[in-house]
Amino acid sequence: MKIKHLLLISGFIAILTILYAFTSKATITDKVMNESEWKNLKVLPSTISNDSLKTLMKGYNKALGVKCNYCHSEDPNGKKGELDFASDSKKEKEFARHMILMTRKINAENFNWQNSPDPEKIDVVSCTMCHRGTAKPSESLR
Ligand code: HEC
Ligand code: HEC
């Protein structure tokens, strides 16, 4: 009986280990996200957590209907498809910075009803509100 239990438990642990090995299989995203220090943040807070940055970036993907590589370029020294998130070589990334600042300004200047001491953090207007799943809202939403 006891041995059967032990076998069951060790079998269970083995399955968990295998599952873990699969889920933690470093996708590009996971690997970079685990770095605790960002290399090239110019408009987002430099202390932003991995989780918050990840959520934000996934939000951009959804808002614009794109993948990470729409703004981030491939790492010439990395494996195929591996992105260099700190690189500024895509103009879309630089434009996105401009958009982040614009969105912040729209909110701070027009939607600060409560006289917030931190108007930069208001998010009444968001990327999604204009983009609605497309990178070019002016073309698709006329
Ligand atoms: C619409 C454009 C856009 C998309 C799509 C996008 N990003 Fe970003 N990402 C940016 C911008 C802009 C910055 C730099 C922000 C700054 O300068 O403060 C950035 C910064 C980063 C950084 C920090 C790099 C560093 O160390 O400086 C990581 C990591 C990152 N993005 C990951 C991702 C991942 C993963 C995805 C897909 C899930 C993604 N991004 C999708 C625009 C984008
Ligand atoms: C007030 C509306 C509005 C908001 C808010 C907004 N955008 Fe935009 N964005 C536009 C328009 C309009 C364009 C011009 C592209 C077009 O439609 O031709 C654009 C273009 C872009 C482009 C360049 C696309 C290309 O390849 O030409 C990126 C990248 C982008 N936006 C990212 C963002 C991100 C990230 C946010 C949120 C932080 C955001 N935008 C918020 C309206 C908006």
pLDDT tens-digit series, residues 92-135: 999 999 999 999 999 999 999 999 998 888 999 999 999 999 99
Q: How far is the CA of 9 from the CAs of 12, 14, 17, 103, 109, in angstroms?
A: 5, 9, 12, 53, 60
- Give the number of the ligand closest to the Cα of residue 93: 1
Mutate to test the pocket of ligand 1, among 41, 70, 71 (most ligand atoms within 8 A of CB): 71
Cβ-in-10-Å burial (0-12, 13-18, 19+) of 71 comes to buried
Q: Would you say the CB of residue 58 lies under 6 angstroms from ligand 1?
A: yes
Confidence of residue 142 (pLDDT cuts 50, 70, 90): low
Across the range 50-74, mean pLDDT stands at 97
Please give the model's pTM, rounded to 2 decimal places.
Answer: 0.84
Q: What are phi and psi of 74, to 5 degrees?
A: -70, 145
pLDDT attached to residue 52 = 93
Between CA 109 and CA 138 the distance in angstroms is: 23
* pLDDT tens-digit readout, 15-40: 555 555 544 433 445 555 555 689 99
